[in-house]
Structure 1
């Protein structure tokens, strides 16, 4: 027999509820006779249907589900229960001690036992279709199609819900939810709500607890977490970050939708069920971040702490909506508490990070004047912090920035014209941390014996900072003004390096390279230049410009100042020196050789072999006329 729709079955008036005109009524009391006849027929109809599905009397009923066997008969069963209840109300008014009332009560107990069994079977058999993922994913469909509308559509054409607009899983889920609601309404109305609720709580709580277990949510004490190695705890945090997303968007959301639907006619029962089913797991889930926040704090842990903060912050609107009941206020409070504790932990770690920079006491100069490990560590750290700028802005919104005495003005780290909003506050704080490390580097530059080397060191490190800022979210936070200011500072350091590092070489040449002078004087200039250039070359072959772009710019700049001037001197006095000594061997370098030598510097290799190589090249050039 084809299955018919729920609307015709569930809401079509039963012919047994309204006796036909063929029923005879004594003329002496027509109203009473009609009422009595209606009551008796309702009881008898209920008796026959309830007996049919009494598991104690029928093996078929014992192994078969009423709602799966015949949905029309299932609706008739619920109608019969309502009719029986109406009859019992009439009997109470007539004689509260009558045998008929006792029999009706016993019959009602059997009916409730059957509905209790059906309720449990639907919940158990449809675990897959009533899992929170399915329920939450089709919430929009539920909003569009009310239960009554669905029943009506199902009655007229069940196949319409198996089409493209709704999946089979969603269709079965909607049917199960409608059945559960119908049974719950019937049992609650008959005074058996406690039995219905008990079954619902047991089954649904087991589903929620099992889901949380599979998500990796486990109840842990602070002492357990405190004893964990950070690597182990970090794995736990990663598991938790996935768990909160699924739990909020699917598990708890779906459970709230289901309980609100099944017990739609009793808000208090819906609240009690949802609260008891989810509160234990939710408290465990949202309590974990608070325990992490209480653990020992080191700057390296800040990023996972920010991940935890961000996860709660992003999901907070849904958490607040799902756990909006008074009975679930503890869940909301726990989420807020974890958020506050995580924020405090982040602020502590930021303070410790700044303190660690200022306390760095390493005095060994970086070989070649390259990028200091402190610079790399701090900038990588701050770059990652910039990726959390939105969360950090919330955390530091009301946290005053206490700045120690600095050798640089506030304008060095505070961009002009920025409004005092949460976003600018985090920008200022990050700029301040960069300033702290730059000031520390100023002190470390003094460990270099050669002043030029110290300026190269400062240029290398500031260039590293600028590149890190420009190629990350820091560039957006700090802005073009900040970048332009610090790029100009790099150029200033480079200029000072060139002046201090190459001034002696340039001063070895005459102010006017093309001026006439005796060969002997030209020879002295030439010897002085050779000695100065080789000294600087050998020294700066061990120095380094860490970034290739910066290295090329420095070499081009040095060459532009040195080679043209030397070329003028070389061309002017080469022939004279040859006549005076019979050879031009005193001219160890041709102008082209200088460029080749300069191409060797600032790699930090210290390859002295290149000197002899280029010297051989200049010897070949010396034979030219």
Structure 2
């Protein structure tokens, strides 16, 4: 009886409360339903910039969560319509909050707009191909100028990386950039507060993987576009730069997010950043993995740059991760580095084979610097910058480098490349030059001088190969200069130094000398010696051989009179015009 009496009394007490709760639920459900039926950029609680708040929708979410906390249906079984409606409404409210989370702009990429545009629109810049095609020979890599390293470490004025982009590779710059939108962070606090009340934090955690981040995504979009519109070299260069920038950006983002006003999102922010970092890092790694199948030796320098960018960025990126996430990123990074290393071992062998086998019959100009020498030294300059990475690649496997120079595998490999070039030059190429009427010694002097000059001008090469290597080449160069003078001018001088007795009058000997001298001068005047120092050394060697002998002959035979066609000064002046690459008469006309 007591129980029967008590029920009506309790029912009367709670009926208004329950009815009121159902009315509140119905109003909130209607608002949430209308929200779900009207998707769009500005139909949520907040707009993307967090400058506007729809108080009605936010009140509906809050009322649903408050109803769940009040538990107004205690006598209703769990499966009752009212309970199911309330649970469904809570789920809908949480889903709406996740949608808001994925829409709000937390990160501000506007300070990076100029840099992004410059990197996106910049041309591929100076070619870094190990052996550029004929159309690429105007690059500074093959002409002796500064070569773009695509990483901002060289002079900005000569680098293919725009100034605004190069600046982002300097850590200090990030302290001056405001990358976080405080209004967006305030919305994150609001969302986190409601997700905790709804008991749906797992759903929020899952949303982190797809969280927008304009700061990073603007740069990633460049790579996506370039994959379809640019050459492989351009994509690799952009990837290298973007990887370095993203590594620095994530560190700056973390620092700036932690500096914001504290709130409910604080307990989520590290996981949030880790998810953003993991997602973008895995995207970068997938791009890198796509290039591990490239085996063309011409792409070696680009691949070295990619390997170094990934190696350099990995430690700072891994510092952001922990546990399984860190293990995943670490394993994936190491896997791709290994694959890149394996690909580069094949490329290294290809570079050596190219220099050993590439020997066209004719040089570019009689006695001049051969294109193979230009290409090889451009390759050497580029590779010398990557000596540490080359040492790692060559040490891990059967690379062709040998630690012959200063105990460095990279030095040994570069020295062997140049040695292969020199063997090629001394063999078929020099023979072809001699067959074409030129001097083998002038050809070799030109090319050895070019090798020495390029090695000296590139500090990386000079320090890699060492002083002893350079001294040996200087000795060879001096021998070829002396041999050239003897081979091309010795015949004419011999006419003057052979006793006149039995050969006719001195005037006849002088005429024979004049003819031999004129032939040699006209032949050698059109030879090209591009290096001014070598040109002066050759002229000096010839002059020291010819002028004193000619002067001595004239002094010994003072009665030659009108038989003297050239004065000593005429001979000296004529020799001072050698090796300009065109005939004297042509230049004077």
- What interval of TM-score do these two structures reach, taking the shorter chain for normalisation? 0.5 to 0.7
Aligned to 1:440: 424
Deviation at 1:490, TM superposition (A): 0.9
Aligned to 1:426: 410
Cα deviations across residues 18-73 of structure 1 (Å, max 9, x unaligned)? xxxxxxxxxxxxxxxxxxxxxx9xxx9xx99x9599634889x98995997799xx
In structure 2, the CA distance between the partners of 1:458 and 1:183, relative to structure 1 (3 Å rule), is same
Matched, 1:485 2:462: no
In structure 2, the CA distance between the partners of 1:121 and 1:56, relative to structure 1 (3 Å rule), is same
In structure 2, the CA distance between the partners of 1:243 and 1:402, relative to structure 1 (3 Å rule), is closer
Report the 3-state secondary structure (helix = DSSP H, G, I; strand = E; otherwise coil) of the residue aligned with 1:369.
coil
CA contact (8 A) 1:132 1:251 kept: no
Report the 3-state secondary structure (helix = DSSP H, G, I; strand = E; otherwise coil) of the residue aligned with 1:286.
helix
CA contact (8 A) 1:501 1:536 kept: yes
Aligned to 1:244: 243
Cα separation, 1, equivalents of 2:94 and 2:336: 43
Aligned to 1:217: 224
Deviation at 1:441, TM superposition (A): 1.0
Matched, 1:501 2:488: yes
Cα separation, 2, equivalents of 1:282 and 1:509: 78
Corresponding residue to 1:602 among 560, 565, 579: 579
Cα deviations across residues 164-208 of structure 1 (Å, max 9, x unaligned)? 999695432443343344334433xxx33345446x358626979
Matched, 1:192 2:200: yes
Cα separation, 2, equivalents of 1:251 and 1:610: 62
Aligned to 2:522: 538
Cα separation, 2, equivalents of 1:362 and 1:111: 78
In structure 2, the CA distance between the partners of 1:490 and 1:82, relative to structure 1 (3 Å rule), is farther
In structure 2, the CA distance between the partners of 1:123 and 1:285, relative to structure 1 (3 Å rule), is closer
Cα separation, 1, equivalents of 2:391 and 2:244: 22
Matched, 1:592 2:561: no
In structure 2, the CA distance between the partners of 1:179 and 1:249, relative to structure 1 (3 Å rule), is farther
Cα separation, 2, equivalents of 1:178 and 1:64: 16
Report the 3-state secondary structure (helix = DSSP H, G, I; strand = E; otherwise coil) of the residue aligned with 1:55.
helix
Deviation at 1:497, TM superposition (A): 1.3
Deviation at 1:371, TM superposition (A): 1.4
Deviation at 1:290, TM superposition (A): 2.5
In structure 2, the CA distance between the partners of 1:243 and 1:100, relative to structure 1 (3 Å rule), is same
CA contact (8 A) 2:111 2:177 kept: no
Report the TM-score, using the length of structure 1 for normalisation: 0.63
Matched, 1:369 2:346: no
Corresponding residue to 1:176 among 164, 173, 187: 187
In structure 2, the CA distance between the partners of 1:165 and 1:388, relative to structure 1 (3 Å rule), is closer
Aligned to 1:558: 542
Q: What does residue range 151-550 of structure 1 map to in structure 2 within 5 Å?
A: 170-187=181-198, 191-197=199-205, 200-201=207-208, 204=211, 214-217=221-224, 232-245=231-244, 247-250=246-249, 265=267, 270=271, 282-295=281-294, 297-327=295-325, 329-364=327-362, 367-400=365-398, 402=400, 414-415=404-405, 418=406, 420=407, 424-443=408-427, 444-447=429-432, 448=434, 453-472=439-458, 473-510=460-497, 522-550=506-534
Cα separation, 2, equivalents of 1:366 and 1:58: 80
In structure 2, the CA distance between the partners of 1:119 and 1:53, relative to structure 1 (3 Å rule), is farther
Cα separation, 1, equivalents of 2:45 and 2:584: 90
Deviation at 1:370, TM superposition (A): 1.4
Deviation at 1:494, TM superposition (A): 0.3
Deviation at 1:425, TM superposition (A): 2.1
The gaps in structure 1 that reach 5 residues or longer are: 1-39, 136-163, 404-409, 578-583, 614-625
Cα deviations across residues 202-240 of structure 1 (Å, max 9, x unaligned)? 86269799757734438x9xxxx9xx99x6433443453
Report the TM-score, using the length of structure 2 for normalisation: 0.66
Cα deviations across residues 435-456 of structure 1 (Å, max 9, x unaligned)? 1100111113234159981111
Aligned residues: 492
Cα separation, 2, equivalents of 1:167 and 1:283: 25
The gaps in structure 2 that reach 5 residues or longer are: 1-12, 36-42, 113-174
Deviation at 1:461, TM superposition (A): 0.6
Cα separation, 2, equivalents of 1:254 and 1:84: 36
In structure 2, the CA distance between the partners of 1:397 and 1:78, relative to structure 1 (3 Å rule), is farther
Q: What does residue range 45-60 of structure 1 map to in structure 2 within 5 Å?
A: 55-56=28-29
Cα separation, 2, equivalents of 1:348 and 1:302: 9
Deviation at 1:351, TM superposition (A): 0.7
CA contact (8 A) 1:369 1:457 kept: yes
CA contact (8 A) 1:393 1:425 kept: yes
Cα separation, 2, equivalents of 1:166 and 1:285: 23
CA contact (8 A) 1:208 1:251 kept: no
CA contact (8 A) 1:452 1:497 kept: no
CA contact (8 A) 1:253 1:322 kept: no
Cα separation, 1, equivalents of 2:577 and 2:455: 29
CA contact (8 A) 2:503 2:509 kept: no
Deviation at 1:322, TM superposition (A): 3.9
Cα deviations across residues 267-301 of structure 1 (Å, max 9, x unaligned)? 9x948x965x7766654431222232214x32222
Report the 3-state secondary structure (helix = DSSP H, G, I; strand = E; otherwise coil) of the residue aligned with 1:396.
helix
CA contact (8 A) 2:179 2:253 kept: no
Cα separation, 2, equivalents of 1:518 and 1:328: 94
Cα separation, 2, equivalents of 1:467 and 1:112: 74
What is the Cα-based RMSD across aligned positions, in Å?
A: 5.4
Deviation at 1:346, TM superposition (A): 1.7
CA contact (8 A) 2:243 2:284 kept: yes
Cα separation, 2, equivalents of 1:65 and 1:372: 71
Q: Comparing 370-379 with 552-561, which one deviates more in the overlay?
A: 552-561
Cα deviations across residues 93-130 of structure 1 (Å, max 9, x unaligned)? xxx97569999998788677656645644653x31x34
